[in-house]
Homo-oligomer: A and B are copies of this chain.
Amino acid sequence: MNSKAAAATAPVEERASTRDDLLTAASELMCERDTLSVPIIDIAAKAGVNSALVKYYFGNKSGLMRALLHRDLAEAVTQLEALVEMDMRPTAKMRYHLSGLINMYFKYPYLQRLLTTTMRDETEEVRSTMIESYIEPIHHAYKRMISDGVAAGEFQPVDYKFFYFIVIGACDQIFSSRDVLKYMHGVDRIDDNIRRSYTEQMIAVILGGLTART
Contact = CB atoms under 8 A, between A and B. Distances in A.
Nearest to A210: B205
Contacts of A166: 170, 173, 201-202, 205-206
Contacts of A48: none
B158 A127 contact: no
A167 B169 CA distance: 8
Interface stretch (A12-20, A21-29, A178-186): A178-186
Interface residues of A, number: 49
Contacts of A123: none
A143 to B, nearest CB: 12
Interface in A193-207: 197-198, 201-202, 204-207
A141 to B, nearest CB: 14
Contact of A209 (B116, B128, B171, B212): B212
A162 B174 CA distance: 8
A35 interface: yes
* Candidate in A128, A176, A198 with the most chain B CB atoms within 10 angstroms: A176
Interface string A136-157: 1001000000000000000010
B183 A174 contact: no
B169 A173 contact: yes
A58 interface: no
A211 interface: yes
Contacts of A119: 177, 179-180, 183
Interface of A: 34-35, 116, 119-120, 127-128, 131, 135-136, 139, 156, 158-159, 161-174, 176-177, 179-180, 183-185, 197-198, 201-202, 204-212, 214
13 contacts: A116-B179, A119-B179, A158-B204, A159-B197, A161-B185, A162-B201, A164-B180, A168-B169, A169-B170, A205-B205, A206-B209, A208-B209, A208-B212
Given A162-B174, A166-B202, 18 more contacts: A119-B179, A120-B179, A131-B184, A135-B183, A158-B201, A158-B205, A162-B198, A162-B201, A162-B202, A164-B180, A165-B170, A165-B198, A166-B173, A166-B206, A169-B171, A169-B173, A170-B173, A205-B210
